Structure 1
Amino acid sequence: MSDIKYEIKKTVGVLSESGKGWKKELNLISWNDKKPKYDLRDWSHEHEKMGKGVTLTAEELKKLKDILNGMEL
């Protein structure tokens, strides 16, 4: 399996932190030198390991925001 190159351009926010120190973060990340996308996933301390996550374009993130704003919690 090839190495995945990534660069965190901006940390938008941390949603939670586990007892082991992993944080669920929303970041703007460039994957393999491509245009940055918004990314939601768990990260270990210092971002040396990552869990599975979801990447979204700015348009997809806007649609998700609209959906969440319309939800009654």
Structure 2
Amino acid sequence: MSDIKYEIKETLGVLSEGSKGWSKELNLISWNDREPKYDIREWSPDHSKMGKGVTLSKQELKALKELLVDIEV
């Protein structure tokens, strides 16, 4: 399996931090030199390791934003 190339273009925010230093973040990331997408996943403190996550296009992020407005927390 080939390595996945990624570049964090912009860190948009940290959603939570775990006891072992990993943080769940919303970032704008370019995967394999492609157009950057919005990404939510856990990262090690130095961003050398990552957990499973979800990648969203701009349109998907807008749809998620509209859904979240209607959720009562």
**TM-score normalised by structure 2 residue count:** 0.98
Other structure's SS at 1:61 match? helix
Gaps of 5+ in 2: none
RMSD, aligned α-carbons? 0.4
| Separation (CA, whole Å) in 2 of partners of 1:72 and 1:51 | 28
| Separation (CA, whole Å) in 1 of partners of 2:72 and 2:14 | 23
Gaps of 5+ in 1: none
Structure having the larger proportion of residues in helix: 1
1:1-73 equivalences in 2 (<5 Å) = 1-73=1-73
Tell me the matched-pair count. 73
Q: Which runs of 4+ in 1 moved over 2 A?
A: none
| Separation (CA, whole Å) in 2 of partners of 1:66 and 1:40 | 17
| Separation (CA, whole Å) in 2 of partners of 1:46 and 1:59 | 29
Identity %: 70
